[in-house]
Structure 1
Amino acid sequence: MKISLQFRNNFILTLVIIFLFISSVDAQVQVGYELCSRKNQLSLNLNSVSDYPGDISIDAVYYFLDLEIKISPNLLIGAVTGTYRIVQSGINSFYLDFSSNMSVDSVIFESLPLNFLHSNDKLKIFFNSPFSKGDIASLTVYYNGVPDPTGYGSFTFGTNEGEPSIYTLSQPFGAKDWWPCKDTPGDKADSSEVWLTTEAHNYNLSGVSNGDLYYIRYNNNGTRTFMWRNSYPIAPYLISIAVSDYALYDQFWNYSSNNLMPVKNYIYPQHLQELIPQLDKTIPMLDFYSGLFGIYPFYKEKYGHVEFGILAGMEHQTISSMGAWYDGIIAHELVHQWFGDKLTCADWNNIWLNEGFATYGEALWQEFSYGDIYYRNFIDRIMVDAKRATGTIYVHDVSSVENIFNPFRTYAKGGVVLHMLRGIVGNQVFFDILHAYANDPRFAYKTVVTSDFQQICDSVSGMNLDYFFSQWIYGENYPKYNVDWSFKNTQGVNYEIDLTITQPVNSNPQFFTMPIEIQIKTDLVDTLMKFFNNSQLQIFNFTLPGKPQSIIVDPDNKILKEVHGNIFDLPVSFRLEQNYPNPFNPATTIIFELGRVSNVTITVYDALGKHIRTLVNEKLREGRHETTFDATGLASGLYICNINAVPEDTGFEAFSDSKPMLYIK
C-alpha cells in the first residue's frame, strides 16, 4: 500500500489525539497485573516446582525468625523456631524445606541438639522418641549463608544509590531459600514473629516485616534489632523482610468512628516527595475496598508499603513490597490483602483466586474513581490479553513459575471471569457474593479452592452455576459465535425474527453455555433481549414492532467472545473502527463492518509503508467482524492498519480505509 501525504497528515493529527487520550484516560488505567505478573520476566532463576504439599505429617502453628543481616561481606545468620502440630502418630522424624545452599549449624529441641540430614533442599530432623498425633513439637534451626535466589528473586542483597537494600519475594516456593519452613501455601501458621538485626555503624538501616513493630532494641555492638509480631494466620511465602535506609511516611486510616490504623510507607529517601500523592490514595482505597469486601482484614495491626528493587509489586501480608507506584498496582496489591492473604489459594493450581480477584479489583477502582467508561476500557484491555490464554485457568501443570503466573490466563482471564459472573448474577448479587466469600468463617484467614468460591456463588445467587465454572475455570478458550438472522412482516407493523447462533466445535467444552444479551433496533423500538444459549446450534424466534435495522450481540461486552456473521441488516455501510486498546502492548483488537459479502484484505504497515503482516485475506459475509494484531517481536512505534474490501455485488464500490495504531512496550 502506498501511504498518501494526506493520510500521513491525518495520521499525525490522530496521533496527537491519541496522546491526549492517554494523558486524560489511559494514564489512570494502567493495568497493575501487567507489572504484578511481570515478576516472572524478572526472575533470576526459574527453578521447576511441583504441586507440592510439604511434609504432610506436620501442621505449622508458629514461626519465629530471628535474623541478622551482615553487609560487606553479605551474610544471613538465622535462628528460626518453628512450632508444629503432629498429625501422624508414631513418627520420629519429619522434614522442613530448606535450601541446600545454606549451612545448618544445629537443630535444638527441648534444649538438646538433634541429628539431621540436609540435602536436596530438605532438612530432615530425627527425634529421640516417636510422637503421638496431636503432639506439639517446637524446635530451632541455627544456620547461616548467602541465599541463592530462585523464583522472582526470593532473597536479594541489593543496593539503592550505594546504600544496602535487602529484600525478599518468596512467591511461589522461595521461602525455603532463606529460612526453614513447610513451604506450601496450603499450610498457614497461626501467627509469626520476625526479628531483624541490622548494622548501624556505617548505615542507618531499618528492618521492615509483617504485623506490628512492637520494639526496637539498641544492641551493645552498635546494631539494632527490629521486632515485628504478626497475630494472624500467614502462609510462608507472605512472610517478608526488607532492609534499607528508608524514609518513613506515616498515615492513619480511620476504620471506625473512634479507631485508627497506622498506614506505614517505607520509601527510598530520594523517591519520597514525588510518591506522596500516590501514597495518599491508599486511604480512600482502604475505605472503598472495605466497603465492598468487609473491613480490611488486618486492621488490628497495619497496612503499608515498602519499596524494593524489583519493577513489580508483591502482596506481603500487611506490607506490600513495591517497585512501581501507579494506581493499578497499588490497588492490585491492596486487594490481595483480602484475596491472597486473608483467603489464600490452597495450592498453586487455584492461583486465579488470588490473581484474578486482584486484577478485577483494579477494574472496580477504575469504575469507582473515574466512571463506567474507565471500567469498560479496563475490561476491553484485559479481554485482549485473555484471548491469548492457552489451557485452563485451573493450572494443571505447576511445574514452572511462568506457567503458574501466566499473565494472560491467571491474571487477565481470571479477572474477566469475575466480570462475566457479574453480568450473569447482576450487580447487587455479585457484590453480595464477594462480601460473603471474604467473610465466611469457613474460609476467612484459611485456604481456599475454586469449589469454595463456587459454593458461595451458588448459595448467594440461588443459581446453579456449575456450567459457568466448568467451562471457564476447567475448560479452555472462549466462544466464537456465528450469527445469522432473517425477518418477515407478519401483520401491520410487527415483524417475526429468526435468530440463529452457532458455535464451532471447541476442545473443552465442546461449546459454551452462556446467557447472551441481544440488542435489536427496529425503525420503531430499541429492544434488549436475553437468551440462554445452551446448544451448539440454536434458533430463537420472536416478534417485535417495526422493521429490523440492526442487531448487536452482547452490546455491553459481558462475555469474552468473538462474533461473526450477519449482524447488520442491509443496507449497511463499510467501516473500519479504531483498534482497541490503543496504545497497546502487545496485542490489540481490530473491528470492521462489511455492508456486502466482500473479498477482504487487512494489512499492517509500519509508519514508512513497509509491509509488516497480513491479518485477513478471505471472503467474508456482510456484518461485523474482528481480528487481532499481535506485535510481539516488533519494535515499539506507529503502525497502520489498512482494509480493502471488494464487494461481490458489482453495484458497490470497493472500500478502503486506514487507522493508526501505537505499540508501546
Structure 2
Amino acid sequence: MKSRLPVPACFTRPFLLFLCWVALVFTSAQASAQVSTKEDHPCAVTRINNTSLLLADGITSEDHRSKMRQYDLHWYKLDLALERNSIDIRGNVILAGSSLQNSLTEFAFELHPNFTIQEVLLDGASCSVTRNGSEVLAALPKALARQEKFSVQVFYAGRAPSGAGAAIGNGFNTATAQPWGQQVTWSLSEPFAASEWFPCKQLLEDKADSVDVWVTTDVSNKVGSNGLLQRITPLLNQKHRYEWKSKYPIAYYLISVAVSNYQEYSFQVPLPGTTQPMLVQNYVYPQALATFKSEIDRTGPFLQLFSEKFGLYPFQQEKYGHSMAPIGGGMEHQTMTTQSTFEFTLTAHELAHQWWGDEVTCKDWSHIWLNEGFASYGELLALENLLPAEKLNWLNRASQSALIQPQGSVFVKDSTVVPRIFSSALSYRKGAMVLHMLRYALQNDAVFFQALQAYREEFRYKVANTRDFQKVVEHVSGRSFQYFFDQWIYGEGFPIFSVFWAQKGNQVFLRSIESSSSAATPFFKTQLEVKISTSVKDTVVVINQEEYTQDLQFKVTGQVLSLEVDPAQWHLEQVKEVVFDPFIAELLSAPVVVYPNPTSGEVRLKGGEGLPEQIIIQDMVGRHIRTFVPTSRTFSLADLGAGAYFLRLKYGESYILQRVVKL
C-alpha cells in the first residue's frame, strides 16, 4: 500500500494561499468574483486553440495588456530605499524598451494604487498620467516610431499593500523571523504581485533582457538580489547602496530583493565542462548559519547533478544563492532563491526552477506545471542520485498527494485564481508524476533527458506551453504522445484498477479492469507493471492497458504467492483490489472470449469455430434468464440489470462458460 507522509516545506505555499484566499473572499467583492465561473471574470478574456480553453496570463484588463504589448521591454533599473523592518518604498524605476507601433503615444505599465506617482519622464521629458487601479497610462510628450528606443523613468513612494495577492503573502513583506528574532523585508511577486512594489509590465511573454537592482538601506543591512553584486556604495547618514546587475533575460516576477542584517556565507562550485568554478552566495541569519550550513552545502552537488541532467546551470556567468526570509517555503527568484529554511527537497526544488521556470518560463499561468511539476521532479532526481533510499518514499508522498484530487486537470482552466495555479496536488505533485510516467513511457533514460535538454535549448530564456514541450518530446523520440498529454495534462483524474488472477499449472491468467476517478477522462491508455512473486522467483510483467478490460497469460516457475501492482511506483493510479479468482483461469483459457467485459450493453465474441448453436444466460446462482440462438458474433445485454452473469455457449455436445459483468 502507498502510505501518505507529511508534505515537505516547499508545498506549504498552497496551504498558505488557501488561508489568504479565504480571507480575501470575505473582505473583497472583487476576490469573490474571482472564485466564481470564468464568465464572471471581466479580465479573463479567453483564447481557443485546438484542445483547450486558455486564459490570459494576468489579472489586468485585456485593454491594458493590449497597450503593454505595444512595446518591447529591454531593461529595468530599480533604485529604491528600503529597510529591514518596513514596507515603505520610495525611489524610481527605469523601464527601457522599443516601440512595436508605427506611432506609440501611450506607455502602459502597472503599479499598485497604494503608491503615489510623483513624476513620469520619457527620456527626461515629463509625461501626464492617468490611473485606473493598478493600471497606469503615461501620455508620451512625443510619438515614438516603430523600433525607436526609449527610457521611461517613474518616481514613486508609498506603503506596499497587504492584500495577500501573491503566491505566498504579499508582493512586498516585512516580518520577524522566528525563532531567530530576525527582522527581514523581502519581495515575492509571483504570479501578479510585482506591481505591489515596483512599476512593471506583468506579461510573461516579454522578458526583460537585463535588470539592475539598487537598494539604499541602513549600513547594518545586506541586500540580496539578482545577478552579480557590482559594488556597495557608501552614502551619508549611515546608509549604503547595494548595486546588483543581471545580464540574463528575466521574467517580471523573478526580480527580487531581500533586506536584513544578514551574514554572508559563500563558496565556489566547479561545474561540468567549465574551467572556472561558480559562485554560490548565501545571505543567512547569523544565528541560523550553524543550523543550516550542512544543508546549504548540498547546493554544490545539486548544481553539478542538474547541470549533468539538464545541461549547464543557466546563469553560470553570474551566481546562484539564497536569501533567507520567513515565507514558509521557497521562491525561485532568478540566481538568488528566497527560502525560509533549508532541507533537501526544498533546496533541490528551488534550484531546479532555475532551469524550469526561470530560464524556460511557462507561456501563461495555465501551464504552470512546466515550472512547478518540473521543479518537483527535480526533487526526485536529487534523491534518486544522492539519497536513493528515499526515492520510493518521495514517490509515495507524490502519488498520495495527487490522488487526493480525483477531479481537475493539470492544465489550469482559470488562471486568474491564485490558489488553483499553485495547487500542490495538480500543479506540483501530479505534474511531477506526469514527467515520471513520461520517462517510463519512453523506456529509455537517455532519450528522456535528451528530450528535456532539447526542450531547454529550444526555449532558452523564452516562454513555452505544454504543446511546445510535447512537440519536442515527439521529435526527439520519433513517437506520437498526443494521447499521453491529452489524458494526463488536459484530461482529469487518474485510472483505478481491479486485478483478478489465477494459476493453472505453470500458467498465470490475469485480468485488469480499469475505471476512472473522473467522468471527464473515462479511460487512460497506459502500461501497468505487475510483480509476480512465486516460491521460486519474482517476475515483473507489463499489462498494456488498451481497453477497459485487458487480459494477460504467461508462464511462471513455482507456486504464485502474491501479486503487487506498480511495484516501482512508475504510475499514478489507484489499485482498488487484487483478487485471486480461480474462475479467471477457466475464463481466459477458454477458446472463446466475450468482450468488452464489463459492458454497458453490447458484447462481441472472439475466437472459436463459427457461432455457438445457442447461448444460455444465467445469474450468479445459476437461475435461468433466457436462451437464444445468436445470428452474429455481436449481441446485446442491455436489458439486463447491473451485475455479473454466466453465458453458456453451446458448441455441439460441449459448453464454454463465460462470465460477463453488466454495468
Same fold (TM over 0.5): yes
Q: Which structure's CA Rg is the greater one?
A: 2
TM-score, normalized by length of structure 2?
A: 0.76
Shift of 1:239: 0.3
Residue identity in the other structure for 1:127: L
CA distance in 1, matches of 2:189, 2:19: 13
Separation in structure 2 between the aligned mates of residue 32 and residue 73 of structure 1, nearest angstrom: 26
Matched, 1:185 2:204: yes
Is residue 2:357 matched to residue 1:352?
no
Give runs of aligned pairs for residues 109-508 of structure 1, distance below 5 A: 109-149=122-162, 150-151=165-166, 152-159=169-176, 164-200=183-219, 204-255=220-271, 258-371=275-388, 373-389=389-405, 390-426=407-443, 427-438=445-456, 440=457, 442-486=458-502, 488=504, 494-495=506-507, 497=509, 499-503=511-515, 506-508=518-520
Instruction: Quote the sequence identity (%).
Output: 34
8 Å contact kept, 2:176–2:182: yes
The answer as to whether partners of 2:10 and 2:329 remain within 8 angstroms in 1 is no
Q: Does 1:558 align with 2:570?
A: yes
Helix, strand or coil for the counterpart of 1:259? coil
Alpha-carbon distance in 1 for matches of 2:574, 2:100: 51
**Structure 1 counterpart of 2:8, which letter?**
V
Task: Give the Å deviation of 1:462.
Answer: 2.3
Query: Which deviates more, 503-512 or 183-192?
Result: 503-512
2:86, 2:440 → 1: CA distance? 57
The Cα shift of 1:487 comes to: 5.4
CA distance in structure 2 between the partners assigned to 1:566 and 1:254 by the alignment = 50
Q: Deviations over 1:588-628 (max 9, x none)?
A: xxxxxxxxxxxxxxxxxxxxxxxxxxxxxxxx99xxxxxxx
Residue 52 in structure 1 maps to residue 64 in structure 2: no
Distance across 2 between alignment mates of 1:547 and 1:477: 36
Contact 1:90/1:131, CA 8 A, preserved across alignment = yes
Q: Deviations over 1:334-361 (max 9, x none)?
A: 1111111111111110111111111111
3-state SS in 1 of match to 2:550: strand
- Following the alignment from structure 1 to structure 2, what is the Cα–Cα distance between the partners of residues 71 and 470? 47
Confirm whether residue 63 of structure 1 aligns to residue 40 of structure 2. no
SS, match of residue 560 in structure 1: coil
Q: Distance in 1 between matches of 2:465 and 2:210?
A: 22
| CA gap 1:252/1:523 in 2 versus in 1, 3 angstroms | closer
Deviations 1:336-388 (A, max 9, x none): 111111111111101111111111111111111222x4111100111001001
Give the letter aligned to residue 230 of structure 2: Y
Moved more, 374-383 or 157-166: 157-166
Aligned-residue offset at 1:258: 3.2
Alpha-carbon separation, structure 2, partners of 1:420 and 1:299: 31
Cα pair distance change 1:317/1:38, threshold 3 Å: farther
String of CA shifts for 1:547-600, please: whole Å, max 9, x gaps.
Answer: 6554433232211112234544679xxxxxxxxxxxxxxxxxxxxxxxxxxxxx
Deviation, 1:434, is 2.2
Letter in 2 for 1:397: D
In 2, Cα distance between equivalents of 1:276 and 1:474:
42
Per the alignment, do residues 380 and 57 of structure 1 end up closer, same or farther by CA in structure 2, a change over 3 Å counting? same
User: Helix, strand or coil: the match of 2:531?
Assistant: strand
Which amino acid in 2 is paired with 1:517? Answer: E
CA distance in structure 1 between the partners assigned to 2:394 and 2:103 by the alignment: 55
User: In the alignment, residue 213 of structure 2 is paired with which amino acid?
Assistant: V
CA, structure 1 residues 540+211, in 2 after alignment: closer, same or farther (shift >3 Å)?
same
Aligned-partner Cα distance in 2 for 1:464–1:352:
21
Q: CA deviation at 1:543?
A: 5.3
AA aligned opposite 2:454: A
Structure 1: gaps of 5 or more residues: 1-20, 572-619, 622-665
Contact 2:57/2:415, CA 8 A, preserved across alignment: no
Letter in 2 for 1:562: Q
Q: Give yes or no for contact 2:501–2:582 (8 Å, CA) kept in 1.
A: no
Q: What is the alpha-carbon distance in structure 2 between the residues aligned to residue 527 and residue 154 of structure 1?
A: 54
SS at match of 2:230: strand
Give the residue type in structure 2 aligned to 1:433. Answer: A
Counterpart CA distance in 2 for 1:480 and 1:164 is: 50
Where in structure 1 do 4 or more consecutive aligned residues deviate above 6 Å?
none
SS in 1 for 2:318: coil
Tell me, yes or no, if the aligned pair for 1:98 and 1:176 is still in contact at 8 Å. Answer: yes
Q: Whole-Å Cα distance in 2 between the matches of residues 37 and 73 of structure 1?
A: 26
Residue 216 of structure 1: SS of its match in structure 2? strand
Deviation for aligned residue 1:168: 0.6
SS at match of 1:290: helix
Task: Give the residue type in structure 2 aligned to 1:515.
Answer: Q
Shift of 1:208: 1.6
Indicate if the aligned counterparts of 1:35 and 1:329 stay in contact, CA closer than 8 A.
Answer: no
Rounded to whole Å, the distance in 2 between the matches of 1:181 and 1:396 is: 26
- Give the CA deviation at 1:39: 4.7
- Aligned residues of 2:87 and 2:185 also touching (Cα < 8 A): no
Return 303-312 or 470-479, whichever deviates more.
303-312
Conserved in 1, the CA contact under 8 Å of 2:72 and 2:98?
yes
Question: 1:528 maps to which residue?
Answer: 540
Does the aligned pair in 2 maintain the 1:513–1:535 contact within 8 Å?
yes
Find the residue that maps to 1:153 and give its secondary structure.
Answer: coil
Q: Indicate the RMSD between aligned Cα atoms, in angstroms.
A: 2.9
Amino acid at match of 2:548: Q
Contact 1:214 1:228 in 2 (8 A): yes
